[in-house]
Chains A and B, each alone.
Chain A
């Protein structure tokens, strides 16, 4: 039986600023659907991706309501990834760790998913992963 594959993604970007976040979520989703386990170490601003108090908003310029706008929040993306990454029906498992000190600095304690951790978790991820991709901020 082939060894189960896993990848680790290190993220640093906060929500709503760069396309890197979108690409990272796309990579994680595709990997989970392929049965590849995904570890994420969210560092620095990336710990706000799952902040549970994010709210969608209307767009007064276009005159659209909240519902019409369908504004995506990264907390919803994370919640969807957590649901997808349950390891069931051939899907991979998601282990999302937020750097605890980074969470404390930003006060983003309420999270839509994932767990609190430290760089030691990142080290453990590296040790057990097939491959590691660091998506550094600029």
Chain B
């Protein structure tokens, strides 16, 4: 079963395309594919506890791994204590490991 890495760079609260893109990830997660969603750049805003991002919470419930770029968090002044449940800080090294995994299909939005 293929593994999928969805790198989201857009804030879902601002870009409806992000919601649709993450919807693809959700569908794959519901089909039991291993799915990682890695939030970078402005998508880090969606990692905040209290941000109304239903697809983020649905991804967590479907078993997807949710990570957010620690640099994007620092740039935006978002501390780890403000992250939504199930969202973990991730490093660029961790992202590279996922991109370089031959079993993983990596997609950027």
Contacts and interface: CB of A to CB of B under 8 A. Distances in A.
Contacts of A128: none
Interface of A: 5-7, 19-20, 23, 26-27, 30-31, 34, 36, 130-136
Interface residues of B, number: 20
Main secondary structure of the interface of B (DSSP, over half): mixed
Contacts of B95: 27, 30
Given A26-B92, A133-B108, A19 B41 contact: yes
A35 to B, nearest CB: 10
B108 A131 contact: no
Interface in B80-109: 92-93, 95-97, 99-102, 104-106, 108
B39 to A, nearest CB: 11
Main secondary structure of the interface of A (DSSP, over half): mixed
Given A23-B9, A133-B106, A133-B108, A7 B100 contact: yes
B96 A134 contact: no
Contact of A20 (B41, B71, B92, B106): B41
Interface in B1-52: 7, 9, 40-42
B93 A131 contact: no
B41 A36 contact: no
Contacts of B92: 26-27, 30
